[in-house]
Structure 1
Amino acid sequence: MSSPVEKKCDKHEPFYLSSCPRRKTSAEIIQEARRSLRTVSTQRPFTPRNDKRQLFGQASSRSSEGRPPSTFSLYAHNFEEPDSRPGSGKRLSPLEHKPRLPLPPDDDLDSLAAFLKPPADPLQLRRMGGTWTRPLKSGPLVGLLPMKPPEEVIKSQASKMCRPSSFGDRNPPLSERSQTAGLSKGEIIPHRPSSERWNLHCVIMVLDFCGSSMVELGRGEFPDELKESVFWETQVTPLLQELESIPQGKDVADSVDHLCSVCERLHLVLGEGDLLGRRCKRRAALLRTLFQLIDMGSDRLNLQLAKLILALSVSGNNLLNICKLIFKISRSENNDSLFQNNSITDSLLSVLHSEDVLSVGEAVLYCMGTFKFLSGNRSLLSQLVSKGCVHALLQLTGRLTQSAAPGHAHFTLSGHILVQLTATLRNLADLPESRPEFLSSRGLPELCVVLQQHSSDKDICTNIVRIFSKLSTYNECCTTLANIPGCYGLFLELLRRHQKKQDLVVRIVFTLGNLTAKNNDARERLWVEDGALDTLLGLFLSYHRMDTAPLASGTPWAPQAPAGTVEGQLQGHRQPSDVEDVLIKLIRVFANLSISPTVGSALASNSQCVELLLRVLEHKAIENCEELVINAVAAINNLSFYQEESSEVRAKELPIVHLMMKLLLSSNMDGMLEAMRVFGNLSQSKVVRDFMLKHKVHQFVVTLLDSKNPDVCFSACGVLINLTIDKDKRAVLREEGAVQKLLDCLRDFGPGDWQLASLVCQTLWNSSEDGAALCFKEQETALLLRLLTLYLGKKLRPELGSAFWRYEELVHQWTMNEDVREVHQACWEMEFFPVAQRLRNRIHSQMSLLETLNTPP
């Protein structure tokens, strides 16, 4: 009993390439996509490299007035000291209680520090008044006081803490106090004691120096101020004196290595002593020394100084100047190596995490400018991504959009920062490692918010659409962007607002082409946006005007057209060469949109859209504008799939065929393939079939069967199927050797491409309508039966001939992947088997009938 599929195939009718509105199987969908409707791919727009490192390049839309400068001079006198907020002018009331410090037992010195507390007598406390800020003067380094031996340091600092007037005459001589404490002078304190013994030594020396007066202060802990003073004099001061000892003359360059080493050691020592940040009481003197070294003019040294100064939590004008100093260093590509594996980038990232980012907005601006320059170096990209730069910048983006919405006092400053920020993200988006951050940190929605808030800022918009054009070439990012509510309306609004900004427009339409390439929902969501068709067609018309020009002065390139038509609007406009890329990307959007049945039918019925596509083909040669012409033909091919009465493609089928003939005569194989696909759809019309036969187009089609390209053979078979519908054309095709060439295609490509094998069988079916014995030569019939028997049994036996050995290799390639194997199996069962079996039965039946007629009674 025959299967439903076989019964359907038993109808003795020719095969047609038609678009029947019914539910399709998965294999049919694959075949349809290959045969008729195709998405169009294109290269991402080229972005020229800017050799000059500036905050805002020459192409910036910002006026040079009022924007932060990229060049400036920085010296020591530009910095301020001390770096702290002015005092309030109020003094705290002194404490009234006076804690006493008794001594623990002599044999328990290890626990001594736990019982000691600082004296709280108002007369003994160092009161801090209001502070004021004055700029530093440029000049030689101010020398520090000579370093005292550790013993003198302890005595002087302890005497300041423990020298009330009532105690002055009660301290015994030093020799007696040392013996009482059980220590000799040489054992007072080592140069760098371990952290566990440091406090104990200090306590012993203070007790040794102050004697019994300390006992009367009551129990408590050792004063932190004294610890810091001792640590400063013994650990920090030597390094500061070493910095100041460098000669200020011609030999300064020879001292840079030494100064950088000292600065690095100083950074470590301050960290060990917990003196980084704003906790150090002598911070102002430290900063003064560091600021003075900036005048030495070494980029390497300045970067080391900047890292240390940022670690001291400078603020205000000093923070701004340090960020400007780092920015100035990063402007030279020769200094990029200084930032390689340098923690200065961590320090800059900490600036971006300021609680009120707009209060230090200008510092953040120059900080972001540095990141923009560094991210332009491919060798530094991975380092920035690994340090969490993408996540930090996306978080900063959200804070800026929330705190500086349009109308805010700092909106302009926020825009300046976002120019640098989005340019940095644009560079970071090149790395595959950065893409998860854009997806996990709500990066793409945040960037859409920035686009919405700064839609009139060409610099910001261009940077963001560059990010989108990069990320949308990857499936996961493209899907995420396609699902953002309002993104399509936002893109259309940008196209309307910045229609003449070619670098911006080309990236928006490229992104739209990516979104509509694989997602039918994206096609329909873009289509239903208000003014979508008008915006896209208006853009098409505008750039076509720029892309066309008269052939000679006063001579139109086409006959005069009635006013109001597209032809009339396009005449007389000269074209700049840089708009072609916009047309390439824009036509790709139309081609991808037309895959949707709803959108495709509407576009096929739009006269302006079809006319503009034809105009492109009329005035562009594939030899000079290959991608533009191929995209235009692909768009016409997709539109020609819809054969409704209202279709403008159907109404203009003969002019389209004329244009396709130009491509068949070219030497461009891609152009010939696209033209053949259009012929496959248009040849459903008898008018077109007659035209093709009259102008010998069928000869080109038969010749293409020898191309050894399965896609070209597939398209050629589609045209031949339609040509063999007419009885008068079958004999003509047989005379051109079409049958033998079809058998060669079946033999060469069958096991590896069951879709193509099915199409060959359909063509042979139509060719055998007049009887296989009459239509085919004897050797052709024998080869066809041999191949059909082989393929229908799916047994590729090498004993049938050495020519069949390669079939096993082809099938093996197709069936290695599980997904491909399933598709391959489905194509064989649902496409090839019914047609091939039906064809074989017909040939057997006709041969049997012929034998019966030739057998004598």
Structure 2
Amino acid sequence: MERRRENREPFYRAGAGAGPGPVAKTSAEIVQEARQSLRTLCTRRPFTPRDEHRQLFGEGSSRPRDGRPPSAFSLHARNFEAPDSRPGSGTRLSPLDHKPRLLAAALDGGPLEEAVTLPKPPAEQTDGRKGLGGTRARLLRAGSTSRLPPVSPHTEVRKPDVCDSPPRRSVSFTERLGAAPSPPAHADKARDTQQIQPPQPHPRRPSTDRGKISLPGTSDSQPGGVSCGTRSDKEVGDGDGSGSDVTEESFWNSVVSPVLQEFEVVATGGSPSEEVVRRLCDVCSGLHGALRERGMLGRRLRKRATLLRSLFRLIDLGSDQLSLLLAKLILALKVSGKNLLNICKLIFQISRSASNDALFHNNSIIGNEDVSVCGEALFYCVATLKFLSGNSALRRLLLEKDCIAILSQLTNTLTHTPPGQDSPSSTHTTAGHILVQLTAMLRNMADLSESRPSFISSGLLAELTTVLEHHCTDPDVCTNVARIFSKLSSYNDCCLVLAEIPQCSRIFIDLLGKHSRKQDLVVRLLFALGNLAARSPEARERIYEERGGVESLLRLFRAYQESPLASQGSSGPHGAPAEREEVLVKLIRVLANISIHPTAGTALAASTECVELLLKVLERGSVEQSEELMVNAAAAINNLSFYQGESSVVRKRHTHISNLMLKLLLSSSMAAVLEATRVFGNLSQIPAVRLFIMDHKVHQFVVTLLDSKSSDVCFSACGVLINLSAEPHNRHTLRQEGVIPKLGECLRDFGPCDWQLAGLVCQTLWNCTEDSMENETEELLHTLSVYLDEEEALALSADGAMRELHQACWELEFRPVAQRLQRRILGQATLSEPIREPA
């Protein structure tokens, strides 16, 4: 009798005693049931528009315009300081606190000798380093900006060089090309009166030495071949009057000096043609290579100031291609101070135009370690990289250069600013300005799928959470970091790494409280938080257990629900209706995902405030205007309806919730219909809800859903029908709606691809045929016989790795129930052959 009662007991979707198996459920059944009822929610990532105008700070920046570095300025040769030739000492001396008192002493009647003695000039140096520490000549700051004072290549008396020969007339660069007009005669005369012309080198005889180079742009009659053998540092830069001076002088006279004279002619000859600019670029590249091969880059060259002065002149020609090559050479000469800043500004100006991106493909110019010494120069360098990272090809090039690991180290340096410098907690500091550009660049780099391993291996995700913590009062920095996290957390590998950072959830929740009115920041933090809760059980628990975490989320929920979502017109304190709706979509998703955790779900289901806020969304909104919001609210109610303890507010408000779900069932959105059906699948365990479904003809909609081509919709419909057919007075009504033929079609259509759904269909058929059998059972028996043949059934399933999954589902969830249903239909079930339920 016990076995007979067990065989005839109806299936239930959930609840004690569900199914014809033993009354006590196994843990596997409970977990499976939870998976069927609770789901994580997905949503689209917030859209971030591209900065087409390449600005330092966007239109929505919180920084005042008068307190941030400028993005537009003009640079000319007069802005540079040519005598930047002294080697840096590494130490800056404070200005003398000197107040002359000569006049005061004389007025008091004292002798002038008793007054304070004026500082005396330093004694004349007698060593060989005078060339490096000479007085710094100044550029003219008045008059014409296109014409600088002539440069004297060298004026000191030197020892005769064996390579020198009597001077001859040099052929100018423009004369050889014939592309630019010659300067007027009076200009030549003025230049002759102000400049001491150096003796021009005589063409050398061919040499057998290795390492000869020829500068581009020099004619065959004036070759620039020099020996590039290895030389010691003392030989290059000490200048003790020995042979090293002679070698440097010969290199200067034979290679550098002719090039500088050609630069002078072009700089004073008006606007050059494209051909002249092209040849200037070749000459500049050749000069750079010659100095590098000779070991005379940096501050080693004695006449470095003369070279810099000529290079600065060419900037006024206004060619971006030439200016970029000049900047590369000037940086290689280790300029500092104002010159370093102006060069970084020049590169920044060039990068602002997207048409110049091609110029940066083969020019690695921002590699000067002195840039990090000057905060403002570093700012413009990082801003340049931000602009260049907007180009997909340059993004990949930067990734190949391991820029993410380098930026991770820079982020660490800027975040942990030493005492006495810019305070990291202040809002608009130099470090803060740099971090805005740096995080915007990383936001661009996150677009590359191949960049994710670098973000993980470099530890940059942890560094960015520290940035959020230290710069929590800077909305610009926080928004950029939130954009990075919203992108990376969409991928499983990055999301799991982010979830392992203990302070991540706490920082996110704190920022939601501090910047609750900044919608673009709030929506991205909520999206990243929802991703963490969707993929990591530990993150769900951590968000719930964070002190004040749930209260902060509900407070934010209430704040963005102050005015009706469907209202048009002026926006409230938390943005326009569309903006508030986007925040609510992401916020409800966080609540729905953390409710999967049993402790959090039970607490939220018992929270009157949480349930009332969700129901208010369903009451005010409409599927036609806010489909995603309504679907997310229904999905959150579905997850909370799984917990039906005595304290559950969802269980207490089941009548009101049933009416709201009925409204969703009547909508044109299949996603809303699916969520409403799932809610009814959980609530139909309550007798009053089953009565509501039958009285309001909801069962007719549910039976119609069996015709859907979606397996998810059919699965949810079967969940409702199992609970309805558990009561004898409902079975006849369901059979009149044609439920058995429709279930047979579902079994035939979805069985080979979803054995879990096929098993649920068989359970529903068992309940619906409890009292009597239908006449149309022949097709159903044929389907069962085919699917119960293991070889034939699995042949219809997927191949490869999915075949093993299908086989497991077929053995555990389909075959036991299908065998029992087949025997009932055939009337061959015997008490001597009990059917064992899977463990």
Corresponding position: 1:258 with 2:256: no
Do 1:547 and 1:574's aligned partners in 2 also have CA atoms closer than 8 Å?
no
Q: Does 1:826 align with 2:808?
A: yes
Match of 1:24 in 2: 27
Structure 1 residue 187: deviation in Å?
12
Q: Kindly provide the amino acid, as one letter, of the partner of residue 825 in structure 1.
A: Q
Contact 1:87–1:129 at 8 Å: present in 2 too?
no
Match for residue 244 of structure 1? Answer: 264
The residue that corresponds to 2:101 in the other structure is none
Change (3 A) 1:155 1:848: closer
1:297 to 318, 324, 327: 318
CA displacement at 1:547 relative to structure 2: 4.7
1:60-110 Cα deviation digits (max 9, x unpaired)? 11111221111111111111122144898xxxxxxxxxxxxxxxxxxxxxx
1:488 and 1:848, CA in 2 relative to 1: closer, same or farther beyond 3 A? closer
2:760 partner SS:
helix
Q: Structure 2: how far apart are the matches of 1:710 and 1:468?
A: 34
Kindly report the root-mean-square deviation, in angstroms, between the aligned alpha carbons of the 2 structures.
3.4
Which is further off, 248-257 or 453-462? 248-257
One-letter amino acid of the counterpart of residue 315, structure 1: S
Q: What does 1:385-396 correspond to in 2, within 5 Å?
A: 385-396=399-410
Q: Secondary structure at the match of 1:65?
A: helix
Structure 1 residue aligned with 2:396: 382
Task: Tell me what 1:556 maps to.
Answer: none
1:577 paired with 2:578, answer yes
Query: Aligned with 1:391: secondary structure?
Result: helix
| Letter of the 1:793 counterpart | D
User: CA shift at 1:135, angstroms?
Assistant: 3.9
Q: 1:405 to 1:380 in 2, by over 3 A?
A: farther
- From 788, 797, 800, the equivalent of 1:817 is 800
Instruction: Quote how far apart the aligned CAs of 1:841 are.
Output: 2.8
Larger radius of gyration: 1
In structure 1, what is the equivalent of residue 252 of structure 2?
A: 232
1:475 to 453, 473, 492: 492
The whole-number CA distance in structure 2 between the counterparts of 1:671 and 1:517 is 20
Is the Cα–Cα contact under 8 Å of residues 163 and 204 in structure 2 kept in the other structure? no
Q: State the SS of the aligned residue for 2:721.
A: helix
- Equivalent pair of 1:142/1:289 in contact (CA under 8 Å): no
Q: Determine whether 1:154 maps to 2:161.
A: yes
What is the distance in 2 between the residues matched to 1:504 and 1:271? 48
Q: In 2, distance between residues paired with 1:751 and 1:723? A: 27
1:557 corresponds to: none
Report the counterpart of residue 774 of structure 2 in structure 1.
776
Whether contact under 8 Å (2:566, 2:621) holds in the other structure is no
Query: Residue 336 of structure 2 is aligned with which of 315, 327, 347?
Result: 315
The one-letter amino acid paired with 1:190 is R
Q: How many angstroms does 1:225 deviate by?
A: 2.1
Amino acid in the other structure paired with 1:226: V
Q: Is the 8 A contact 1:405 1:453 kept in 2?
A: no
1:855 maps to none
Partner of 1:852: none
| AA in 1 matched with 2:398 | L
Question: The residue matched to 1:245 in structure 2 has which SS?
Answer: helix
The one-letter code matched in structure 1 to 2:610 is C
Q: Shift in Å at residue 495 of structure 1?
A: 0.4
Moved more, 400-409 or 419-428: 400-409
Q: Is the 8 A contact 1:45 1:506 kept in 2?
A: yes
Give the whole-Å Cα distance in 1 for the aligned partners of 2:149 and 2:161.
Answer: 25
Structure 1: unaligned runs, 5 residues or longer = 1-5, 89-121, 160-185, 204-219, 554-570, 797-806, 850-857
Taking the aligned partners of 1:710 and 1:259, their CA distance within structure 2 comes to 70
Deviates more, 1:223-232 or 1:249-258: 249-258
Q: Which amino acid aligns with 1:244?
A: E
- Aligned counterpart for 2:472 among listed residues 438, 450, 455: 455
State the partner residue of 2:725: 724
Alpha-carbon deviations, 1:528-580, whole Å to 9, x = none? 00100110000111111145477999xxxxxxxxxxxxxxxxx9999632221
Q: Which residue of 2 aligns with 1:736?
A: 737
CA contact (8 A) 2:794 2:806 kept: no
* Contact 1:14/1:765 (<8 A) preserved: yes
User: Which residue pairs with 1:540 in the alignment?
Assistant: 557
Contact kept? 1:435, 1:471, Cα under 8 Å: yes
Alignment of 1:590-669 (within 5 A): 590-669=591-670
1:24 counterpart letter in structure 2: S
Q: Partner residue of 1:432?
A: 449
Partner of 1:842: 824
Structure 1 residue 335, shift from structure 2 partner:
2.0
Distance 1:426 1:654 in 2: 47
Alpha-carbon offset, residue 382 of structure 1: 1.0
* Structure 1 position 378, deviation (Å): 2.4
Could you tell me which residue of structure 2 aligns to residue 211 of structure 1? none
Is the partner of 1:545 in helix, strand or coil? coil
Give the structure-2-normalised TM-score: 0.80
Q: Aligned ranges for residues 743-754 of structure 1 at < 5 Å? A: 743-754=744-755
The answer to whether the 8 A contact 2:151-2:306 is kept is: no
Cα-to-partner distance string for 1:304-363 (whole Å, 9 max, x where unaligned):
111111111111111000001111111222222222x222xx331x24x44x93x41000
Contact 2:348 2:380 in 1 (8 A): yes
SS at match of 2:66: coil
The answer on whether the counterparts of 2:259 and 2:283 sit within 8 Å (CA) in structure 1 is yes
Q: Equivalents in 1 of 2:82, 2:342: separation in Å?
A: 13
1:33-48 matches, cutoff 5 A: 33=35, 35-48=36-49
> What is the rounded CA distance, in whole Å, between the counterparts of 1:572 and 1:291 in structure 2?
53
**Offset, 1:840:** 2.4
User: Counterparts of 2:829 and 2:681 in 1: how far apart (Å)?
Assistant: 32
TM-score by length of 1: 0.78
Alpha-carbon offset, residue 746 of structure 1 = 1.0
Q: Cα distance 1:87–1:579, how it changes in 2: closer, same or farther (>3 A)?
A: closer
- Given the superposition, is the C-alpha separation of residues 132 and 432 from structure 1 closer, same or farther in structure 2, using an over 3 Å criterion? farther
Higher relative contact order (CA 8 A, sep 6+): 1
Cα deviation for residue 480 of structure 1 reads: 0.7
**Cα 1:326–1:731 shift into 2, 3 Å:** same
Equivalent in the alignment of 1:82 = 83
| Residue correspondence of structure 1 range 292-371 to structure 2 within 5 A | 292-339=313-360, 341-343=361-363, 346-348=364-366, 350-351=367-368, 353-354=369-370, 357=372, 359-371=373-385
What's the secondary structure of 1:608's corresponding residue?
helix
Instruction: Answer whether contact 1:77 1:135 (CA < 8 A) is retained.
Output: no
* Letter aligned with residue 758 of structure 1: G
**Farther off after superposition, 263-272 or 329-338:** 329-338
Q: Tell me, what secondary structure is at the counterpart of 1:544?
A: coil
1:723-756 deviations in Å (ceiling 9; x for gaps): 1011111000001100011111111111221111
Deviates more, 1:370-379 or 1:313-322: 370-379
Offset at residue 406 of structure 1 (A): 9.5
> How many residue pairs were aligned?
720
CA separation of 1:552 and 1:580: change in aligned 2, threshold 3 A? closer
Cα distance in 2 for partners of 1:202, 1:675 equals 84
5+ residue gaps, structure 2, are: 17-23, 90-124, 167-200, 214-224, 228-239, 832-839
* 1:391 positional shift: 1.6
Pick the structure with more helix per residue.
Answer: 1
Match of 1:373 among 374, 377, 387: 387
Deviation digits for residues 345-397 of structure 1, max 9, x if unmatched? x331x24x44x93x410000011111111112223211121122212111111
Distance 1:695 1:236 in 2: 95
AA in 1 matched with 2:57: F
Cross-structure match for 2:294: 273
Counterpart contact for 1:721–1:763, Cα < 8 Å: yes
**Is the contact made by 1:158 and 1:226 (CA closer than 8 Å) also made in structure 2?**
no
Query: Kindly tell me: are residues 301 and 23 of structure 1, through their superposed partners in 2, closer, same or farther at Cα, counting changes over 3 Å?
Result: farther
**Residue 619 of structure 1: how far off its partner (Å):** 1.7
Aligned pair in 2 of structure 1 residues 187, 60: CA closer, same or farther (>3 Å)? closer
Q: Structure 2 counterpart of 1:400, which letter?
A: L
Q: Is the 8 A contact 2:654 2:683 kept in 1?
A: yes
Once the two structures are TM-superposed, the CA of residue 188 in structure 1 deviates from its matched residue by: 10
| Cα 1:363/1:787, change in 2 over 3 Å | same
Q: Tell me how far apart the structure 2 counterparts of residues 146 and 552 of structure 1 sit (CA, whole Å).
A: 72
Structure-2 residue corresponding to 1:171: none
SS at structure 2 position matched to 1:455: coil
Distance, in Å, in 2 between the alignment partners of 1:679 and 1:379 is 52
